[in-house]
């Protein structure tokens, strides 16, 4: 019975999702069984499906939640309030914040909280406006110390990413707060980030069919970005290979790694099924001035992504030089190389506006407000 009620509740949550609000599962993949919520700012209405109580809580109050099967026990300042399928804390003032702790981690958030349990695992869901969420993501993903214009780039990307990737829909929320989705660090107090989110409010990147694009990004492209099929199996639109002069003097622009020639030959032999004596007899040097998909020498050929993974290289944009009994990789960039090059974007945003930066790294896209996208989708 409890399970059916819980499923009905999760379906209800999915149906009431709005593209301007977002539900974030706090503490990502951690499987907490209890949580404490402390009131920090503003007033909240605290209630559950039993409707037999509504408590307006204030600063200093503490509510504890403990999972029990598909139900939750709640305690207000140590006194039991009830055992229910779900509990809600809805904000009753514009300025509001709560501190949530699962015993090992804590996070301060704005907006509402929904608490329920699936098979004894407590779900703590933060319901907030997409723009407040984007502020928390910029704080978590980009950090502090960038220009206002670059924060605007990051704001449009994070907002679009959130609407494109809704990986947790069946669990009652759209995104988790970990790297699995986007790192969401809760309430933001940095003025520059706030201004960037307000200046780009509601703006997202869409393709010509009005789909939110998959705004992939990486640290540094080394001077040339790549198409998705060079990294994964599928070719995605809007991610073309472009040459990038903005990142070539940044911190991750160049790298070098040395390994032994014997381990290189062992690896090549495994991957290509060529004998060690054949591989020792040919020239193993390899040059990459423009990005390639394969390391190709003699009749041996290996996908660059495989080499990167095996030797934990910073990128697939490298040349190979044999020096005595060593192999030296001389590389450029850091990351998969698809979409926005962050270090390039940071430099470009010093002399260009955020729209120019976005149109430089993503192709055949438009910057549009969510309301406008919804309007066009009606036709």
Q: Which residues bind Zn ion (CB under 5 A)?
A: 167, 176, 180-181, 221, 244, 247, 341, 344
Distance CA 217, CA 249 (A): 18
The least distance separating Zn ion from the CB of residue 168, rounded to whole angstroms, comes to 6
Q: Contact 122/33 with Cβ under 8 angstroms?
A: yes
Nearer to Zn ion, 74 or 149 (CB): 149
The least distance separating Zn ion from the CB of residue 183, rounded to whole angstroms, comes to 10
Distance CA 13, CA 6 (A): 11
Nearer to Zn ion, 196 or 338 (CB): 338
Nearer to Zn ion, 125 or 341 (CB): 341
The least distance separating Zn ion from the CB of residue 120, rounded to whole angstroms, comes to 20
Per-residue DSSP letter, 213: P
Distance CA 65, CA 83 (A): 10
Nearer to Zn ion, 57 or 126 (CB): 126
The least distance separating Zn ion from the CB of residue 264, rounded to whole angstroms, comes to 28
Dihedral angle, C-alpha 11, 13, 17, 22, nearest 10 °: -130
Closest CA to 77 of 122, 117, 39: 39
Return the sign of the alpha-carbon dihedral for residues 132, 137, 140, 146: negative
Dihedral angle, C-alpha 152, 157, 160, 163, nearest 10 °: -110
Residue with tokens 């896209």: 365
The least distance separating Zn ion from the CB of residue 225, rounded to whole angstroms, comes to 7
Helix intervals (H) in 202-336: 261-272, 276-281, 304-311
Q: Contact 109/128 with Cβ under 8 angstroms?
A: yes
The least distance separating Zn ion from the CB of residue 332, rounded to whole angstroms, comes to 9
Q: Contact 121/30 with Cβ under 8 angstroms?
A: no
Nearer to Zn ion, 135 or 244 (CB): 244
Q: Contact 317/332 with Cβ under 8 angstroms?
A: yes
The least distance separating Zn ion from the CB of residue 184, rounded to whole angstroms, comes to 10
The least distance separating Zn ion from the CB of residue 169, rounded to whole angstroms, comes to 11
Distance CA 22, CA 129 (A): 6
Distance CA 30, CA 148 (A): 34
Nearer to Zn ion, 127 or 244 (CB): 244
* Gyration radius (Cα) of the chain, Å: 25
Nearer to Zn ion, 241 or 305 (CB): 241
Nearer to Zn ion, 67 or 221 (CB): 221
Nearer to Zn ion, 22 or 247 (CB): 247
Helix, strand, coil % in the chain, rounded to nearest 5: 30, 30, 40
Nearer to Zn ion, 241 or 269 (CB): 241
The least distance separating Zn ion from the CB of residue 171, rounded to whole angstroms, comes to 9
Query: Which strands, in side-by-side order, build the sheet including 34-41?
Result: 79-84, 71-76, 62-68, 34-41, 97-101, 106-109
Q: Contact 165/175 with Cβ under 8 angstroms?
A: yes
The least distance separating Zn ion from the CB of residue 267, rounded to whole angstroms, comes to 28
* Angle subtended at Cα 31 by Cα 27 and Cα 36, rounded to the nearest 5 degrees: 60
């Amino acid at each position: 019975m409890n399970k059916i009620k819980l499923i009905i509740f999760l379906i209800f949550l999915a149906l009431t999702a709005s593209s301007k609000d977002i539900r974030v599962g706090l503490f990502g993949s951690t499987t907490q069984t209890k949580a404490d919520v402390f009131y920090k700012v503003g007033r909240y209405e605290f209630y559950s499906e039993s409707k037999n109580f509504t408590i307006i809580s204030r600063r200093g109050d503490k509510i504890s939640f403990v999972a029990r099967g598909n139900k939750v026990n709640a305690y207000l300042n140590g006194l039991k309030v009830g055992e229910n399928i779900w509990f809600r804390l809805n904000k009753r003032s514009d300025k509001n914040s709560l501190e949530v702790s699962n015993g090992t981690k804590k996070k301060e958030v704005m907006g509402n909280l929904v608490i329920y349990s699936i098979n004894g695992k407590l779900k703590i869901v933060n319901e907030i406006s997409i723009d407040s969420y984007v502020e928390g993501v910029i704080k978590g993903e980009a950090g502090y110390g960038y220009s206002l214009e670059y924060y605007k780039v990051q704001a449009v990307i994070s907002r679009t990413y959130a609407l494109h990737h809704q990986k947790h829909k069946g669990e009652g929320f759209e995104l988790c707060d970990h790297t699995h989705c986007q790192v969401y660090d809760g309430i933001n107090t940095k003025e520059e980030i706030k201004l960037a989110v307000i200046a780009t409010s509601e703006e997202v990147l869409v393709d010509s069919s009005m789909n939110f694009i998959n705004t992939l990004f990486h640290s540094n492209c080394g001077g040339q970005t790549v198409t998705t099929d060079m990294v994964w199996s599928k070719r995605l639109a809007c991610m073309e290979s472009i040459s990038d002069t903005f990142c070539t003097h940044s911190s991750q622009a160049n790298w070098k790694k040395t390994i032994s020639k014997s381990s290189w030959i062992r690896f090549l032999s495994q991957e290509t099924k060529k004998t060690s004596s054949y591989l020792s007899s040919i020239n193993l040097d390899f040059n990459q001035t423009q990005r390639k998909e394969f390391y190709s020498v003699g009749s041996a050929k290996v996908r660059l992504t495989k080499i990167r993974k095996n030797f934990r290289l910073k990128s697939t944009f490298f040349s190979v030089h044999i020096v005595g009994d060593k192999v030296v990789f001389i590389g450029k960039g850091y990351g998969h190389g698809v979409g926005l090059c962050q270090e390039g974007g940071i430099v470009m945003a010093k002399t260009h506006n955020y729209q120019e930066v976005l149109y430089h790294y993503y192709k055949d896209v438009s910057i549009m407000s969510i309301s406008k996208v919804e309007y066009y989708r009606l036709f």
